[in-house]
Amino acid sequence: MDALRDALPRTRGWFTLFGALIGLFLLAPLAAILPLAFTTSRYLVFPPVGFTGQWFTVVLTDPAWQGSILNSARVAVTAAVLATVGGTSGALAVRRLSRGQQILRTTMLAPMVMPPLVLALGLYLTYKSIAGGTSLTVLTLGQATLAMPLVFVTVAAGLAAVDPALARAAQSLGHRWPSVVWRIELPLVSRSILSGAILAFAVCFDEAVLALFLVPPAQQTLPVKIWTSASENASPAIAAASALVICLAVTLLAVVALLRSRPGKEKA
């Protein structure tokens, strides 16, 4: 026992060191890109020179950059809403099914394991042949499919904390199932649904694989714009745009963490 207690702090020290190294490895690219957003050079080259906020102004005011941000936001919001409706419905349905639960659960999670490249290519070829081309609508549908498992998992976890007797109680008190869902289950998992929706939005906002295949040239989304800029003019605006995306992601994750940590109504 004593030997174990002596060994514990040291083990914890190694864990901390290892974790820090992994963190460093993951965050190093950020450390490289963030300073470049403030460079006074006209090209995206390391090391940064001087300090200016002009690249942020460019990203936020230049019509091409601005348009791409708006496109991304529009697609991500719509896709997140679709994913939330789909994922939440799936989670509620799995709970109600008396058989076939496993089949539905697997179906809901399938987009998680399917390579986005395959989905992108499939959508691209299909819409090319039936509609002559793709559009932001197709991209929205594709991203909603990608994000749906996230919402499904989040809401299913929330529902698992809801006592199944509550639904029975509501039924015995005279409520049909739609009323049970609306008045009991949805209010009790509202936080899970909201965090699922935010995660879905965050994933869709900077989704690149589907976007590269499906975005029409005139309606670039932000990741596509970053991609084309990098190959065309290598402007430090890329770094500024990336910094903004990172800030958004961190903020959204913080909100989700807050939603999960606050003593929720889900705990009965």
Partner 1 sequence: MSVNVAIENLTVDLGGHRILDGVDLDIPAGSFVTLLGPSGSGKTTTLNVLAGFVERSGGTVRVDGRPIDNVPAHERNIGFLFQNYALFPHMTVGENIAFPLLARKIPAAKRREMVADALRLVHLPGMESRSIRSLSGGQQQRVALARALVFKPGLLLLDEPLAALDKQLREAMQLELKRIQVETGTTTVAVTHDQVEAMSMADLVAIMDKGRLVQVGSPEEVYRCPANLFVATFLGEANLLPVSGGRVTGLRHAASTSRSEGIGVVRPEDVVIRPEAADDTVPGRVELSVFQGNRWRVSVRCPGREAPVVVSVPPGGTGPRIGEEVHLAVGVRRIHVVPAPAGAAARPEAVAAR
Residues at the contact surface with partner 1, assessed by CB under 8 A: 163, 165-166, 168-176, 179, 183-184, 187-188, 265, 267-268
Question: Using CB atoms within 10 A of its CB, is residue 98 exposed (0-12), middle (13-18) or buried (19+)?
Answer: exposed
Helices 63-96 and 101-113 cross at an angle (nearest 10°) of 160
Q: Closer CB to partner 1, residue 136 or residue 167?
A: 167
Helix 63-96, helix 190-205: angle, nearest 10: 140
Query: 191: closest CA among 262, 91, 93, 94?
Result: 262
Of 50 and 174, which CB lies nearer to partner 1 in the complex structure? 174
CB of 83 to partner 1, least distance (A): 25
Q: How far is the CB of 160 from partner 1 (least distance, A)?
A: 15
- Min dist CB 79 to partner 1, Å, is 29
Q: Which is nearer to partner 1, 3 or 173 (CB)?
A: 173
Helix/strand number for the chain, H first, E second: 13, 0
Looking at the Cβ atoms of 34 and 166, the one nearer to partner 1 is 166
Among 211, 266, 239, which Cα is nearest to 53's?
239
Which residue shows structure tokens 């559009």?
135
**Nearest distance, CB of residue 186 and partner 1, angstroms:** 10
Residue 169: CB minimum distance to partner 1, A = 4
Q: In terms of residues, how long is the chain?
A: 268
Nearer to partner 1, 179 or 233 (CB): 179
